[in-house]
Structure 1
């Protein structure tokens, strides 16, 4: 009998090290079974379990304890920031996402004239509403400790990430979004300012902010568990208070975080994938400002400024998107939105060794001329897309990203903040290079009740 499972793991270039089952060459994970059904775990759908083992697994699922702890937290409110699709006929559609496969099939099932009309609409909208997106690559002197690699070598260091993080903070500094935070630190007002990093991951955006500008109170919002976190380094700083909230942004009621009550705060996030950007904006700015009482203004956290680097627009969902009304006024339907979000994945297709300039004449190069109508209809939409040049696909992807982010920008401005959308790093550092940055025009903005 073999002493280890005989299933070959190509990525690890070795056999599985688990002990095989009796009378088998393979372990329980790799034994082929007939008439078995794998179902998603109801506690953590990211993994599946054999249906026959579900009852036992539920009692010992690794996420069970975390879920039980989270459910009793005062700041946990299921779906508070998720938004709503008012066109959905039932609750089931509200809860299900429109997958990338659904989006692709929707595009491929379009007629060629419909596809051509959609591309014309994208080009026209981009020309009219996205012409003011400027390039703003900022390397503030305050971040020299990291930029010049004068940091503890025990900390994970990747230059491209540091350049992105430094430029996020540099753009915030240019807008004046860090002034109240740094002033509070210099005045040693430890209880008057905080930083909330959404989608924090390991927390290295906050680490650079703390090393470069000095902060006293930090909240790291992240639903997953990570190794090599910045938490240990941050906790070693004198007078630093750090609280990690392991929760999905969708379920976070920031008003109910007791240790943040009444404090002005800076909200930051680097690469908030797809709908996480919309969830973050709604978490910080959702609701109607005109209905706040004096009591609410004094007890709720108050937003000073916000900087969110967007990415992964192909994951965006109509039900989560903050500014559906804006897109609808521009003639973008729910179905158009599905197609546009699918196109955004093409923005990373091209070679970004040099900065890619968006070519607004794209429409004439993507579709064949009217003289080739017969061949165009024979190809169909799928054939046309497969024959597109990589640069044209990337250009279309960037256009769609800009339109989505412009709707978010307008939503922020509608809430009374001074805001802008910029390209904060060159595409050779990251093609995911759009940054939403804003600051309150009043001393601080309170989060309204939802």
Structure 2
């Protein structure tokens, strides 16, 4: 007996009979037979065993995940090993440590969509946007670089167009890291939103002759086709942290706590609010704590020699002060930005900047929606890539929701004007991030790191801590 949606085996387009030794259940959603192996003497696998006439055992949906079923008489046994069961939290999991805003009273309960705004309301928003952007550097400089580590891969004819585009971006990111002197020994590279870990892979290739390097790959989802296995024979330490950046406390990562290496935060197309979470993770929950831990009290001295005590205490105090200035737990930050339409006021690090130019959560809500207009042209060229998504495409390559951006309902604005407004929204949001970093002692910049033909999301944020406390932060975008 076949599944309920099994087609006639003689009908046009029929998938034919099930494979020998495989389940005889037809999966209508996938338009093929189940490929699981049934028990000896059975026609159906355990998941579809209820199809057997002679089987009196009842299968019920799993309470942890109703997408699969389980024999009712084996429920308790199944719950102990189900992949959907809640797993113990790792030691570096601290609930909402990088979340940002705690008082939700500042956020309006409900926001209307862009398509619901009147023409006057939309015009007022655009006026506010342009006023807030006055004085900002609107034309970012290009800093399109490359790195010798990717030279062979970039010239490999086996790579298709999609792979070539990703390699060009990775090469430029490494080139910018090299220019900032961030590629060197004695460092821990933390890739946020690591996915398959390709960016860390190329950083490791670039540092193949360098000792004492460590890599932490942060990704909240399980990932297929990871490249981590290529590094097992190397001295570099590759470690994956499966955790949302929102809950990641770097100070409690055992390997990082043990080696105490300066960290370099990196990311390729770190989507929306994830960028803000990563910046707060590095700059606040990690750097602030590490600098505090470095301040050790002076050791006790004998009381019988007051002169010696005073001299040594003075020397210890000077050493502590010098160590405090020299110790920089975060050596640098290099993040390729993307998906500003997925930013969130709760997590956004540039709230103080927005308030300083007369803006708040309401304007931020609309600006982050309007930011998707900057990539209007993407919709004209995107084709369905769902099957290739795990291999070459990225989240920012996917088409945006039309209802989300109001793209189809604002035809009163020409396409070019929409793109210009969207780009201004993205730039304003990014300047808030730059100001946040500068106020915390970093020299931060924005620039184009690749051509728009390679990626429409082509802005790179870089930051390094100031070396001397006497240096006055300078607000710059290039």
CA distance in 2: counterparts of 1:443 and 1:48, whole angstroms = 57
Does the alignment pair 1:409 with 2:434? yes
- Partner SS state of residue 133, structure 2: helix
Q: Identify if the C-alpha distance between structure 1 residues 351 and 16 changes in structure 2 by more than 3 Å, giving closer, same or farther.
A: same
Distance (Å, rounded) in 2 between the aligned partners of 1:146 and 1:58: 46
Residue 80 of structure 1: which of 72, 76, 97 is its match? 97
Tell me the secondary structure at the aligned position of residue 267 of structure 1: strand
What is the CA–CA distance in structure 1 between the aligned matches of 2:93 and 2:431, rounded to whole Å?
A: 30
Distance of 1:400 and 1:257 partners within structure 2: 36
For 1:140-159, what aligned pairs fall within 5 Å after superposition? 140-149=147-156, 158-159=163-164
> 8 Å contact 2:264–2:332 — kept in the other structure?
yes
2:192 paired with 1:198: yes
| Secondary structure of 2:146's aligned partner | coil
Q: Which residues of structure 2 form unaligned runs of 5+? A: 8-25, 36-43, 53-60, 297-322, 382-405, 470-478
Task: Report how many residues are paired.
Answer: 369
Change (3 A) 1:162 1:63: farther
Q: Which runs of 5+ in 1 are unaligned?
A: 25-37, 185-191, 355-380, 445-450
1:246 to 230, 242, 245: 242
1:143, CA displacement in angstroms?
3.3
In 2, Cα distance between the equivalents of 1:11 and 1:174?
Answer: 51
Q: Shift in Å at residue 301 of structure 1? A: 8.2
The answer on whether the counterparts of 1:350 and 1:391 sit within 8 Å (CA) in structure 2 is no
User: 1:10 offset after TM fit, Å?
Assistant: 9.4
* Residue of structure 2 equivalent to 1:234: 231
For residues 17-71 of structure 1, what are the alpha-carbon distances to aligned partners after superposition, in whole Å with 9 as ceiling and x for unaligned? 38668689xxxxxxxxxxxxx99x8x78xx8789xx9x9786554242xx523x1
Give the match for residue 260 of structure 1. 256
The answer to whether residue 315 in structure 2 is matched with residue 321 in structure 1 is no
CA distance in 1, matches of 2:263, 2:51: 61
Q: Secondary structure at the match of 1:232?
A: helix
Find the residue that maps to 2:348 and give its secondary structure: coil
How far, CA to CA, are the matches of 2:128 and 2:117 in structure 1? Answer: 15
Residues 353, 107 of structure 1: alpha-carbon distance in 2 compared, 3 angstrom cutoff: closer
Query: Which string of whole-angstrom CA distances, capped at 9 and with x for unpartnered residues, describes residues 60-118 of structure 1?
Result: 54242xx523x1x22110110111153527xxx89xxx9xxx76x33233332221111
CA contact (8 A) 1:205 1:270 kept: yes
Q: Is the Cα contact below 8 Å between 1:130 and 1:406 reproduced in 2?
A: no
Alpha carbons 2:150, 2:167 under 8 Å: kept:
no
Structural mapping, 1:31-110, within 5 Å: 61-64=82-85, 67-69=86-88, 71=89, 73-88=90-105, 105-110=112-117
Cα root mean square deviation, aligned: 3.9
**What's the counterpart of residue 313 of structure 2?**
none
In the alignment, does 2:364 pair up with 1:337?
yes
1:304 correspondence with 2:331: yes
Label 1:23 to 1:422 Cα distance change in 2 as closer, same or farther (>3 A).
same
Question: Separation in 1 of the partners of 2:430 and 2:3?
Answer: 55
**1:276-317 deviation per Cα after TM superposition (whole angstroms, max 9, x unaligned):** 00000000001695982534789x981101101111111111
Q: Quote the Cα distance in structure 2 between the aligned partners of 1:263 and 1:88.
A: 39
Question: How does the TM-score come out when normalised to structure 2?
Answer: 0.67
CA contact (8 A) 1:254 1:283 kept: yes
1:436 aligns with 2:431: no
Distance 1:329 1:421, change over 3 A: same
Give the Cα separation in 2 of the matches to 1:276 and 1:81: 10
Work out which of the residue numbers 133, 137, 142 in structure 2 matches 1:135: 142
Tell me how far apart the structure 2 counterparts of residues 278 and 382 of structure 1 sit (CA, whole Å).
26
Deviation of residue 9 (structure 1)?
8.1
What TM-score comes out, normalization by structure 1 length?
Answer: 0.71
Alpha-carbon deviations, 1:399-446, whole Å to 9, x = none? 1111111100111111111210111111111111111111122399xx
1:281-292 alignment runs, 5 A limit: 281-286=279-284, 289=288, 292=292
Q: State which structure, 1 or 2, has the greater radius of gyration over its C-alpha atoms.
A: 2
